[in-house]
Amino acid sequence: AQSVAQPEDQVNVAEGNPLTVKCTYSVSGNPYLFWYVQYPNRGLQFLLKYITGDNLVKGSYGFEAEFNKSQTSFHLKKPSALVSDSALYFCAVRDRGGGNKLTFGTGTQLKVEL
């Protein structure tokens, strides 16, 4: 069974400061990893994904994530946070061994303050 853990329910950061949203995963094989963002009463928007290759993945809106196989982590980062980045962020994993099923973490609420 695959699973995702997002250990922080909420992350607070000042605008202009770097931000990190943590994610660890568990799959039986090699993973496909994804980050999505959700604004209030909206669906999920795709941010970035790790499939293979370079462990540092760059995505939309200046976000990036680093795949660390030894630590089974895929933390989301941004060098300089904006107030408009405030939203709910979900990490998700899919076992590339088969199947379409995405498993999501519990979500991390990011709050960026002036």
Partner 1 sequence: GAVVSQHPSRVICKSGTSVKIECRSLDFQATTMFWYRQFPKKSLMLMATSNEGSKATYEQGVEKDKFLINHASLTLSTLTVTSAHPEDSSFYICSARDRLAGLDNEQFFGPGTRLTVL
Residue 5 is a binding residue for partner 1 (CB under 8 A): no
Binding residue (CB under 8 A) for partner 1 from 32, 64, 77, 86: 32
Residue 17 structure tokens: 């400061």
- As a whole number of angstroms, the distance between CA 102 and CA 83 comes to 29
Residue 101 is a binding residue for partner 1 (CB under 8 A): yes
The least distance separating partner 1 from the CB of residue 104, rounded to whole angstroms, comes to 5
Residue 3 is a binding residue for partner 1 (CB under 8 A): no
CA separation (Å) from 49 to 10, 16, 41, 67?
A: 22, 24, 23, 10
Binding residue (CB under 8 A) for partner 1 from 36, 63, 67, 89: 36
The least distance separating partner 1 from the CB of residue 15, rounded to whole angstroms, comes to 23
Closer CB to partner 1, 78 or 107, in the complex: 107
φ/ψ region of 72 (left if φ > 0, alpha if ψ in -120 to 50, else beta) reads left
- As a whole number of angstroms, the distance between CA 99 and CA 83 comes to 37
Closer CB to partner 1, 52 or 70, in the complex: 52
